[in-house]
Amino acid sequence: MSPAWRLRIEVVIVLGLTLGASAVYSIVSLAAKLTEERALGDQSVALNPSRSTREWLDFTYQFLDVFFGLFAVALVLYLLWVPGRSPFRRIGLDFTRPGRDAASGLLLVAVIGVPGLALYAIGRALGLSEQQVKDHLAYARARLEKIIRERLARRVASDRELSEEINDLLFG
């Protein structure tokens, strides 16, 4: 098997595991919503919906979704790996041009994000897309993360002050 043919097969497998599966589920979900009695514009969808009513299980499920999703990334890097060469460098993650890479990333976000938001807004105005609803547990998680960050920052500051006092006492 030629290297070019092998690479094509690898790309198809990785896309099937990631984007392909997501696209198929999206098409089935859209078909289900379009065949409901209510118009699509009258329906709503939760962003990052809870997977459990118990917060610790919800967090665990969402963490595991991300954790196991990273295995597809690991597979890509493994398939790109050639002894003596970095798989990160093969896909351009070598940090040799951080300014250019950041600018390209921001441009890509704008090229994908702005038309996507515009399409959603037009769809909502015409009644052709669902209303997106925030998940209440997502708000609670964000609040909890903020509290933890604030407490951690206070703790680090107080530890620094304590260490300075001890240092002054010992070495005065």
pLDDT tens readout for residues 20-68: 888 888 899 889 988 988 888 888 777 777 778 888 888 888 888 888 8
- Is residue 151's pLDDT more than 80? no
- Is residue 147's pLDDT more than 60? yes
Tokens of 147: 């509290």
Q: Give which of 40, 8, 31, 27 is closest to 120, Cα–Cα.
A: 40
- What pLDDT is recorded for position 111? 92
- Torsional sign, CA 19, 26, 48, 124: positive
Predicted confidence band of residue 162 (pLDDT cuts 50, 70, 90): low
pLDDT digits (tens, 9 = 90+) for 107-127: 988 998 899 889 888 988 888
pTM over 0.85: no
Q: Which residues contact 141 (CB under 8 A, 6 or more apart)?
A: 55, 59
Q: CA–CA distance from 76 to each of 1, 11, 46, 154 (Å)? A: 20, 9, 31, 41
Q: Give which of 23, 17, 73 is closest to 9, Cα–Cα.
A: 17
- Compute the distance between CA of residue 2 and CA of residue 7 in angstroms, rounded to an integer: 9
Q: Where are the domains of the chain?
A: 36-132, 135-172
pLDDT digits (tens, 9 = 90+) for 152-161: 767 666 655 5
